Structure 1
Amino acid sequence: MMLILPSLPGLVAKKLHIQLAHVEAGLRSGDRNMPE
């Protein structure tokens, strides 16, 4: 079984000088008045 830490792909991309982008999926709560 291989354990991959969530930050590992970001660290590898930084080391290889690859730019990454993070895109949010949208409202998780469904409440537009609640700040995220």
Structure 2
Amino acid sequence: IPIAIDIVFRHQHYIDFIKWSIVSGLITLIPLTLID
């Protein structure tokens, strides 16, 4: 059971990492598109 919990925790952390990467990417791209 602890192994399953560890897998779920790592999977959730991986999703959060992707989510923040997309958010930071949008925050960087939006001002560039507004300037253009």
TM-score of the pair, normalised by structure 1: 0.30
Which structure is richer in relative contact order (CA contacts within 8 A, separation 6 or more)? 1
Higher helix share: 2
Q: TM-score, normalization: structure 2?
A: 0.30
